[in-house]
Chains A and B, each alone.
Chain A
Amino acid sequence: MSNVGTDPGREAFKVEASELLTELETSLLELEEAPDDEDLIGRVFRAMHTIKGSGAMFGFDDVAAFTHDVETVFDEVRNGKITVTKTLIDLTLSARDHIRALIDSAETGESVDEAKAGKITEGLRKLLPSSAEHTETPVKEVDSSQKTEERAVTYRVRFKPNKELFANGTNPIPLLNELRMLGECEIIAHVHNIPLLNELESEGCYTYWDIILTTDKGENAINDVFIFVDDDCEITIQVIDTGDALDDERDYKKLGEILIERGDVSKEELQKILAGKKRLGDMVVDAGLVKPDEVQAALVEQRHVRKVREKSQTKEPASSIRVPSEKLDTLVNLVGELVTVQARLSQVAIDKDDPEVILISEEVERLTSELRDDTMSIRMLPIGTTFSKFKRLVRDLSNELGREVILFTEGGETELDKTVIEKLNDPLVHIIRNSIDHGIESPAERTGKGKPREGKIHLSAEHSGANVLIRIKDDGKGISTEAVKAKAIKNGLITPDTELPDKEIYGLIFAPGFSTAEKVTSVSGRGVGMDVVKKNIDALRGSVEIESSEGNGTAITLKLPLTLAIIDGLLVKIKDDNFVISLSSVEECIELTQADIDRAHGRHMVNVRGELVPYIRLREWFEIDGKEPEIAQIVITEHNGRRTGFVVDYVVGEYQTVIKSLGSIYKDVEGLSGATILGDGTVALILDIQKMTQYVEKEELESFQ
């Protein structure tokens, strides 16, 4: 296989490896918490095993060679010869990083730190019991021609261990379990060799197994399973069904043929027996030619192959497929355009007033809306994948900073748009870093304060309407409002006599260049961080909220929209201009008459069922000339528990809004978050009511100073 960078096989391997490495990391971190969990050890081993195998196949020989060493150690762990220790996890984690570096370097051509690799391998070898010489085993060359064959082949494996198998510390059960992992598998134990109790050596292994395995992994995968017991066992692997299109005869071989093929009985003997009239299975047993369990095994094989063949005929649909994310992006864009065209169709249908056209248009509307929801849901990913990355971050950081921190995660299954998740990574890293560096105290400090030694960070995600709330809570020392204030005064952000509620003081830490940490560490303290968090979350049309209690900890809540591409909006009109307000923040629409204005003495507030709601006249704010109609409309919105009204001329109605960017030229325009294209082809602007409210507040405040 040629090793060109664009080789699709190599690309596939990179994608696969990256997933395996992520899984490896997660498993390792879980393993640290539950060192005895055999399942986890198995997962680690398998991940490494696959990386090794596929790595060698696609020409990543260095990856294969390096992974082999790590795998060897984990094989010993699996066999119970080495226990899981922190050193082992540490080493394996750095080995994982090294494997990633090796794979990346193949692409970039950068050299990797060989010395580091040596150190890791050496460290790992030290962990091996001295008797084990497995490290010398060369990496098995994987026959690629065998492996690339995707077709599922059925094998008959006879695994006949020597009697002394147990004496070498090998447990056959995990081996069989590993075979099960390879594919559909039936295992039959042959127990007829077990002697009577008085002759039984309790340490001897008398059982042997027939395994009927259907796998697409190739024969080598099976060999790999037995790689360490090769010498102690008799292993025969035979192909019994190649998975080819069915031959003329639908049935798999007859029982007798199988027995002959296995050498359990000869053809002549069988024919002799056939003279009798009993069922073949019973007959051969009665004749003492084979043991009942051998017949049983043959029957199982027959059944298994039949089943596999039937399945391949019904063509099992793929349960999931891998699609490049760009294709999804294109799909979403197309759906966006479709929604726009559909809006146009609806408009034309209404204008034409032709019942038939209206019917079709309504049908299209329904389909489009379904298609939109489905397409959006394809892009939804559980946030859990991001969460698991933070486990590693917390672990590494707490080591580095001498803290003891446990990360709890909750709601990892909460789904969010792929782009949101991607852009969420950096802000979360910053926040968690801050929590560990500034929030959680050192163990000594904590015990001094009567807190448990170990700090806790809670990372949780939950749905809340059309938003997702992500909360990062720590039980550290909290934010000192005094320190923040002092620093803000020093930075000239506020004057000493400014009186601010706590919430706003916390808000100050989002100012660029702000950091209350007295000394700068490698992690934080340089004041870049929280402003980046704010900026990134703003870009996602989300918001950040801080709650803190000094001495008890801090909670930061990120509120994010589910999706970035399409929202349900409320279309409103001022003069000839159209605007869209996100429907999720709209509470109600009420009328505003001259009488109402007079009653409030011209002040911009209105009485909504006894509650005072201030409003913003969009016509004034947008400097649109002309007069408001006699009866204007107020759209009442709610944000963070505060209600604000927006006065518009007309409320047109609900509108499926495909959000388009206004481009870099208009990126600084306050109070607008984008634009959308209406059914008639004109452009409507999308209002960012939250920003606009803040801006109006600020402007009014300034106008009085």
Chain B
Amino acid sequence: MAVTDIAETTQYLTFKLEDEQFALDISKVREVLEFTTVTKVPRTPEFMRGVINLRGSVVPVLDLRLKFGMTMTEKTVNTCVIIVEVALEGESTVLGTIADSVQEVIELDPEHIEPAPKIGTKLRTEFIKGMGKRDGEFIIILDIDKVFSTEELTLAKDMESFPAKEEEREEVAA
């Protein structure tokens, strides 16, 4: 019954977007930060909120709510940035995602996880690793590598109607 690639009991970090519960494989999570000032990088899609200073490193921050078609995250006392490590083009990349609140770390047995239904989630099914069940509630377990795959990010850029990239010339006649 269970999802094929989840074979053993794994720990998940659960968090909320709006009122919905989502979860991430804990091994992907580096740390959770309080929401700080984000510097917007101009001319990028809205869901790419910008960059933050993570102890001297510049780390991009993405807004999952916008990515999933919800409204932009408003800053509250509970707003957090979850720092995750994803594989982008085979390279491990550190980035942050904004959550309305971070809940807890839970353990889920494979038998408590079901494959995502093909319809009705209102999300691209490949983003979902499985649907966890806990206390009668559903938790959407995200496949964070897929959500932030390069393809996804490039797609997003194209949607922003960026002028098609041409070859760069040294100078263009003024």
Contact = CB atoms under 8 A, between A and B. Distances in A.
Interface of A: 336-337, 340, 493, 500-501, 503-504, 506-508, 510-512, 534, 538, 543-545, 577-578, 614, 621-624, 640, 642, 660-666, 668-672, 674-677, 681-685, 691, 694, 697-699, 701-702
A580 B145 CA distance: 32
B173 A682 contact: no
Contact of B39 (A510, A670, A685, A691): A685
26 contacts: A336-B56, A504-B169, A504-B170, A504-B172, A507-B170, A508-B169, A512-B167, A544-B170, A624-B42, A640-B170, A660-B58, A663-B60, A664-B88, A664-B89, A664-B91, A664-B150, A665-B60, A665-B93, A666-B60, A671-B43, A672-B41, A675-B39, A683-B51, A683-B52, A683-B58, A694-B171
B5 interface: no
A694 B88 contact: no
Contacts of A545: 170
B42 A623 contact: yes
Interface in B1-56: 37, 39-44, 48, 50-53, 56
B137 interface: no
B58 A675 contact: yes
A683 to B, nearest CB: 4
B41 A698 contact: no
Which 4 A-B residue pairings sit nearest by Cβ, starting from the closest? A622-B42, A683-B39, A660-B58, A507-B170
A507 B169 contact: yes
Nearest to B51: A683
Interface of B: 37, 39-44, 48, 50-53, 56-60, 62, 88-89, 91, 93-95, 148, 150, 153-154, 157, 163, 165-174
A683 B53 CA distance: 6
Contact of B88 (A493, A665, A670, A674): A665
B57 A697 contact: no
Contacts of A672: 41-42
B169 A675 contact: no
B29 to A, nearest CB: 18
Contact of B168 (A493, A666, A694, A701): A694
Contacts of A493: 167
Contacts of B51: 662, 666, 675, 683
A340 B56 contact: yes
A490 B29 CA distance: 51
A691 B168 CA distance: 9
User: Chain A binding site: helix, strand, loop or mixed by DSSP?
Assistant: mixed
A581 to B, nearest CB: 15
Nearest to B95: A665
Contacts of B150: 664
Contact of A699 (B41, B94, B163, B168): B163
Q: Which of A512, A614, A665, A683 has the most CB of B within 10 A?
A: A665
Contacts of B170: 503-504, 506-507, 543-545, 640
Q: Which of B42, B88, B91 has the most CB of A within 10 A?
A: B42
A510 B166 CA distance: 12
A694 B169 CA distance: 8
Given A660-B57, A669-B44, A702 B167 contact: no
B95 A702 contact: no
Contacts of B163: 698-699, 702
Contacts, number: 121
B111 to A, nearest CB: 36
A672 B43 CA distance: 10
A663 B58 contact: yes
A506 B169 CA distance: 9
Contacts of B157: 668
A701 B157 CA distance: 22
A699 B89 CA distance: 30
B60 A698 contact: no
Contacts of B56: 336-337, 340, 677
Nearest to A544: B170
B40 A665 contact: no
Given A577-B40, A663-B60, A682-B37, 13 more contacts: A501-B173, A508-B169, A577-B39, A621-B43, A663-B59, A666-B48, A668-B165, A676-B58, A681-B53, A683-B58, A685-B41, A685-B42, A694-B171
B45 to A, nearest CB: 11
A502 to B, nearest CB: 11
Nearest to A663: B60
A544 B52 CA distance: 33
A663 B57 CA distance: 10
Nearest to A672: B41
Contacts of A623: 42-43
Contacts of A501: 173
A160 B165 CA distance: 79
Q: Which of B153, B154, B166, B169 has the most CB of A within 10 A?
A: B169
A684 B39 contact: yes
A698 B48 contact: no
A342 to B, nearest CB: 13
A42 B172 CA distance: 56
Contacts of A697: 171-172, 174
Nearest to A499: B173
Nearest to A675: B58
Contacts of A337: 56
Contact of A663 (B43, B53, B93, B166): B93
A664 B52 CA distance: 15
Contacts of B94: 663
A663 B169 CA distance: 25
A683 B60 CA distance: 11
Given A503-B171, A511-B167, A701-B172, A670 B37 contact: no
Contacts of A578: 39
A126 B86 CA distance: 61
Nearest to A501: B173
A449 B39 CA distance: 61
B40 to A, nearest CB: 7
A622 to B, nearest CB: 4
A694 B57 CA distance: 29
A670 B157 CA distance: 12
B41 to A, nearest CB: 6
A307 to B, nearest CB: 52
Contacts of A621: 42-43
B58 A622 contact: no
Contacts of B50: 683
Contacts of B153: 665
A511 to B, nearest CB: 4
Nearest to B44: A669
Nearest to A336: B56
A662 B43 contact: no
Nearest to B172: A697
A545 B42 CA distance: 29
A510 B94 CA distance: 33
B155 to A, nearest CB: 12
Contacts of A511: 167
A661 B58 contact: yes
A578 B39 CA distance: 9
A532 to B, nearest CB: 13
A547 to B, nearest CB: 11
Nearest to B148: A665
A504 B39 contact: no
Given A683-B52, A694-B169, A669 B43 contact: yes
A265 to B, nearest CB: 74
A500 B169 CA distance: 11
A632 to B, nearest CB: 17
A622 B39 CA distance: 13
A608 to B, nearest CB: 17
